[in-house]
Structure 1
């Protein structure tokens, strides 16, 4: 048992075997009946030996181990077979035929009269789970053993009836209480989950969480749009500075000045509007003492509390969390002012994209007109102007 059994055996192990042997000694010493002590003691040592070979058919495996061991010790064949029968009798549900069979049955089931029966049952259930035996739920496990204790199990020896029966009956009551408590706890948990799912608080919190997340995403989208326009206009101005503007100093290209100015002016206007849309606002000067006293100020926004002293800020937070109403009011104000910020950003973005679109259209038209009329005129002038002789 000490060398061959796995650590996954939390119940059927060497410790249980030693306790079983100790119980056998106690029962034999306390019994006034005539018992073949040696046979009972040897059988007690080998009751759980088969578990070292696996859960399946462990009784037969125990009988095989004890038979082999005793034959190796040159034990008498008659005694060997009686001990083998005792090991089997300890586990079967039939009534005992001899006092020794009744004794070994009581020894094996001594745990039913243990003061810590529920802990032992839990160890056995955990062991079954470790070994892939698919144990029942804790509540069903208790119910199964309550049924065993009430209807299937009984003690046969006088000593067990006098010393263990009372504790066994107390254990039945204790298991019934534990099973009822488990059922009650599960019902409470189900009810709690049901009430939680049906509670408007959960829906309200989900609404605030979703709306705040959506507002922040919209703010990120606005900043991204503004950054796109900044990048595009910066590229346009860089190309103009590098390629077109140096050519405007040539008199023959003077007709391109007005289209270029239109293009540059609208690009610069788009850049300015994009910067305004993304420029952070650190403080809110619109928050006045009257708003604060009327609890219309959003102290969850850093721009409204960054100038406060730490003690004043803590007092404001205490005022907010003093009730659900003030918490929800603060979250509502936070949503409201986030919406106001988004309104300002998207209005600026709308004007920025409009200015950029109008600038592109006017610039293209201006370049087309300049090239068509003034460009052709310049070509005619160049054609009729006599070239200087070299």
Structure 2
């Protein structure tokens, strides 16, 4: 590397480090060195003199320095920076002018290369389009546009922009680029086109799926049927839990009542015989209440077996454990496989399950109603009995008999 090339490399490295915003993740020192490497590839395979080679190398290093000033029109700023720097290094005037022209030739939108040097620098600047690292470099450029607030491209939009660039806006000019980079460029384009094709296919599939979903959502009864069974079964199970909870409450309350009554009143019967009958009524009503609560929650035991004929005739409900808890696993798996083959069998099983749950609930709530009635009546009668007992506690048997017989005289 000649002295001026080395000095220029150090200059742009320090310049970008101090003045280039960190949001430039593509147009930075790394990009400039990548262009410099590409221009050297072209120079090595071209018949140009040392002076022209120096112009190209300097232009490659300095062509994006204008980004420290502004994005739009950075090429003109890069040319100014290049002139000031190269003049300070006493570089020949014709080399400086050549560098300026090459830098301005990298303005893709508004210029067309007019000579061999401009074609070379133009190819080097866009060499990433024909390299294996195109996808990585392209993503850095997309992120830079986003960070800089130029435009926030989606993946699909950016892919379309790249395809447009490949097909409509870009071309290689030098023989070296056409022979070595153009084939890779075509591969990169093919990859983009394939990705676009896959995306369109996926999008079309999703749109068709959405259309079918809307079309058959109301036409198919499956969703409504499933919702019905799910809601009905959930409500039945919830009601069963409520009944069991109420029965357990009555069991606990009456167990406490009996314990307290036995512990406090039985020992007083010798001195307070008038407590015998109220206490007996109280305990008996509580005991009946507990018995009814147990009956309400007492599970029914089923045989837990089914035959092959039951499954074939669809007469067994495989959704209820009481019909299969004694069967072997292999037999139950076979029965379930047969069930799942028949949509009607599934719904019939769910219907049976729902029906018998309803029957169980009917029994539970009838007994539970009787349990609460017994409990309330027992409490009321017991309280009245205690009241009467306390009222006549100090009377003799003869006096009580007189009070009872007095209205008949």
TM range (shorter): 0.7 to 0.9
2:373 corresponds to? 354
- Once the 2 structures are TM-superposed, how far is the Cα of residue 87 of structure 1 from its aligned partner? 5.3
2:241 corresponds to? 220
- Once the 2 structures are TM-superposed, how far is the Cα of residue 366 of structure 1 from its aligned partner? 2.9
Report the Cα distance in structure 2 between the residues aligned to 1:14 and 1:347, rounded to whole angstroms.
87
In the TM superposition, 1:224-373 aligns within 5 A as 224-250=245-271, 253-281=272-300, 283-285=301-303, 289=307, 291-372=310-391
Are the counterparts in 2 of residues 266 and 359 from structure 1 also a CA contact under 8 Å?
yes
After alignment, is 257-266 or 17-26 more displaced?
17-26
Superposed CA RMSD in Å reads 4.7
Report the Cα distance in structure 2 between the residues aligned to 1:307 and 1:229, rounded to whole angstroms.
34
Distance 1:16 1:306, change over 3 A: farther
After alignment, is 121-130 or 237-246 more displaced?
121-130
Report the Cα distance in structure 1 between the residues aligned to 2:265 and 2:302, rounded to whole angstroms.
44
SS in 2 for 1:141: helix
2:110 corresponds to? 94
Distance 1:348 1:155, change over 3 A: same
Report the Cα distance in structure 2 between the residues aligned to 1:219 and 1:56, rounded to whole angstroms.
73
SS in 2 for 1:36: helix
Alignment of 1:136 with 2:153, yes or no, is yes
Distance 1:279 1:97, change over 3 A: farther
Unaligned runs of 5+ in 2: 1-12, 401-409
After alignment, is 42-51 or 295-304 more displaced?
42-51
Alignment of 1:192 with 2:209, yes or no, is yes
Distance 1:330 1:80, change over 3 A: farther
Report the Cα distance in structure 2 between the residues aligned to 1:171 and 1:312, rounded to whole angstroms.
59
Alignment of 1:146 with 2:163, yes or no, is yes
Unaligned runs of 5+ in 1: 383-390
In the TM superposition, 1:372-387 aligns within 5 A as 372=391, 374-375=392-393, 377=395
1:36 corresponds to? 52
- Once the 2 structures are TM-superposed, how far is the Cα of residue 102 of structure 1 from its aligned partner? 3.1
After alignment, is 188-197 or 80-89 more displaced?
80-89
Report the Cα distance in structure 2 between the residues aligned to 1:131 and 1:245, rounded to whole angstroms.
92
- Once the 2 structures are TM-superposed, how far is the Cα of residue 323 of structure 1 from its aligned partner? 4.3
Report the Cα distance in structure 2 between the residues aligned to 1:215 and 1:14, rounded to whole angstroms.
72
Distance 1:116 1:181, change over 3 A: farther
Report the Cα distance in structure 1 between the residues aligned to 2:232 and 2:64, rounded to whole angstroms.
64
Q: Deviations over 1:102-133 (max 9, x none)?
A: 32222222233346756764565578779998
Distance 1:334 1:245, change over 3 A: same
Are the counterparts in 2 of residues 111 and 117 from structure 1 also a CA contact under 8 Å?
yes
Report the Cα distance in structure 2 between the residues aligned to 1:261 and 1:304, rounded to whole angstroms.
44
1:385 corresponds to? none
1:27 corresponds to? 42
In the TM superposition, 1:19-98 aligns within 5 A as 20-32=35-47, 36-44=52-60, 74=89, 76=91, 83=99, 86=102, 89-90=105-106, 92-95=108-111, 96=113
Of 157, 166, 174 in structure 1, the residue corresponding to residue 174 of structure 2 is 157
Distance 1:179 1:340, change over 3 A: same
Are the counterparts in 1 of residues 247 and 293 from structure 2 also a CA contact under 8 Å?
yes
Distance 1:185 1:269, change over 3 A: same
Are the counterparts in 2 of residues 255 and 370 from structure 1 also a CA contact under 8 Å?
yes
Report the Cα distance in structure 2 between the residues aligned to 1:7 and 1:317, rounded to whole angstroms.
64
Distance 1:13 1:67, change over 3 A: closer
Are the counterparts in 2 of residues 67 and 81 from structure 1 also a CA contact under 8 Å?
no
Report the Cα distance in structure 2 between the residues aligned to 1:58 and 1:247, rounded to whole angstroms.
110
Normalised to the residue count of structure 2, the TM-score between the two structures is 0.70
Report the Cα distance in structure 1 between the residues aligned to 2:294 and 2:92, rounded to whole angstroms.
102
Aligned length: 377
- Once the 2 structures are TM-superposed, how far is the Cα of residue 177 of structure 1 from its aligned partner? 4.5
Report the Cα distance in structure 2 between the residues aligned to 1:205 and 1:75, rounded to whole angstroms.
86
Normalised to the residue count of structure 1, the TM-score between the two structures is 0.73
Are the counterparts in 2 of residues 24 and 107 from structure 1 also a CA contact under 8 Å?
yes
Are the counterparts in 2 of residues 287 and 297 from structure 1 also a CA contact under 8 Å?
no
Report the Cα distance in structure 2 between the residues aligned to 1:242 and 1:24, rounded to whole angstroms.
106
